Copies of this chain bind each other. A is one copy, B any other.
Amino acid sequence: MRGLIVGRFQPFHKGHLEAIKFILSECDDLIVIIAASQQSHLPANPFTAGERYDMIHQSLVDELSDITRVIIVPANDIKDNGLWVAHILRLVPKFDIVYSNNPLIRYLFAQGGKETRQTPLFERKEYSAAHIRKLIWEGNDGWKKLVPKSVVKIIEEIDGVKRLQIINATDEHQEKS
State the A residues within 8 Å of B (CB): 6-8, 10, 35-42, 44, 48-51, 53-54, 57, 61, 67-68, 71-74, 76-77, 79-87, 89-94, 102-105, 107-108, 129-130, 163, 166-167, 169-170, 173-177
CB-based contact A107/B53 at 8 Å:
no
Q: Measured between C-beta atoms, what is the minimum distance from A165 to chain B in Å? A: 9
For this chain, the copies found in one complex come to: 6
CB-based contact B176/A105 at 8 Å:
yes
Task: Give which listed residue, B41, B94, B104, B174, contacts A81 with CB less than 8 A.
Answer: B41
CB-based contact A104/B173 at 8 Å:
no
Q: Measured between C-beta atoms, what is the minimum distance from A147 to chain B in Å? A: 16
Task: Give which listed residue, B6, B54, B71, contacts A57 with CB less than 8 A.
Answer: B71
Q: How far is the CA of A103 from the CA of B137 in the complex (A)?
A: 14
A93-B53 contact given A73-B74, A173-B130, A177-B7, CB 8 Å threshold: yes
